């Protein structure tokens, strides 16, 4: 899909990190961007950066784990700028450093609420509008390289579980929208220099409120100096225009997927051998 000046975009988690990078890249192409984040001050800061470059953007306070909040954001952006042509369900939080059986119930609610329901709410709020509009449109869902494999070193099981779900949701959505003018992409980055390790600052009150989750903070050191968010934003903008479904940003991580696929292939080979043995 061609990104044309005057088109309208929704980007969640846009107050910092990858969301800010995507917002800036779209704004530089002339799109009017609804910069959405649960931290309104951060969203305003992104808008100021965009406006300083001559772009057009508005800040919207959104809790993506709340369906009504996403729907209200869609209404607000549409009222201000017109129909949304590009929707980026990007908001996500970290949940690292703790074994699955030790994660608190409120943290399970939170990571599922943001990382999975945030995408579901984006799909349900924007896809019907896009289809009804009858014009070229595109949805980008931010997963992670963790949505294709579980790293054994960092206790990322809860996070990876949610990102696997984002991959599945995106693949299903691509299948369902085949033959329409609505395209789909799934973004799977690795180490990007963001503030995801500080996610706990943004936990809603109904899920326990803001707190300090030091188990996440080692991630900050791992990603420090990594790929810059605006580079990811440029990759996303290019993928939308090229119609790419999978958006991988760190080629060196392919070995992790190869390792997983080799284990799967070995298991299928074992299944075939069992079938042969039973036939004999």
Residue 275 host element (H or E)? helix 254-279
> Over 194-247, what HEC string results?
CCHHHHHHHCCHHHCCCCCCHHHCHHHHHHCCCECHHHHHHHHHHHHHHCCCEE
User: What would the pLDDT profile of 120-176 be if each residue is shown by its tens digit?
Assistant: 999 999 999 999 999 999 999 999 999 999 988 888 999 999 999 999 999 999 999
Considering the entire predicted model, what is its pTM? 0.92
Residue 274 has pLDDT above 80, yes or no: no
Residue 265, CB-side half-sphere exposure with 13 Å CA sphere: 6
Give the residue numbers annotated as catalytic, written as ranges.
159
Burial class (CB in 10 A: 0-12, 13-18, 19+), 116: buried
Give the pLDDT confidence score for residue 218 in this predicted structure. 65
**Measured in whole angstroms, how far is the alpha carbon of residue 43 from the centre of its chain?**
16
Residue 215 has pLDDT above 70, yes or no: no
């Amino acid at each position: 899909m061609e990104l044309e000046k005057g088109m309208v975009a929704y980007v969640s988690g846009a107050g910092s990190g990858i969301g800010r990078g995507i917002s800036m890249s779209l704004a530089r192409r002339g799109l009017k961007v609804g910069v959405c984040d649960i931290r309104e001050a951060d969203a305003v800061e992104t808008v100021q950066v965009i406006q300083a470059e001559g772009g057009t953007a508005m800040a919207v306070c959104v809790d993506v784990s709340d369906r009504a909040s996403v729907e209200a954001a869609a209404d607000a952006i549409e009222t201000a700028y017109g129909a949304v042509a590009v929707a980026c369900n990007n908001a996500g939080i970290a949940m690292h450093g703790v074994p699955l059986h030790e994660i608190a119930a409120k943290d399970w609610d939170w990571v599922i609420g943001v990382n999975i329901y945030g995408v579901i709410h984006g799909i349900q709020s924007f896809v019907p509008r896009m289809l009804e509009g009858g014009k070229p449109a595109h949805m980008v869902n931010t997963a992670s390289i963790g949505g294709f494999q579980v790293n054994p070193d960092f206790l990322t099981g809860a996070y990876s579980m949610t990102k696997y779900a984002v991959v599945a949701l995106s693949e299903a959505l691509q299948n369902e929208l085949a033959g329409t003018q609505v395209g789909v992409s799934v973004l799977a980055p690795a180490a990007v220099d963001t503030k995801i390790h500080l996610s706990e600052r943004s936990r809603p009150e109904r899920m326990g409120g803001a707190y300090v989750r030091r188990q996440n903070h080692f991630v900050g050191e791992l990603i420090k100096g990594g790929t810059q968010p605006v580079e990811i934003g440029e990759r996303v903008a290019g993928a939308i225009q090229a119609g790419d479904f999978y958006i991988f940003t760190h080629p060196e991580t392919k070995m992790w997927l190869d390792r997983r696929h080799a284990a799967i292939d070995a298991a299928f080979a074992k299944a075939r051998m069992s079938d042969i043995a039973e036939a004999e």
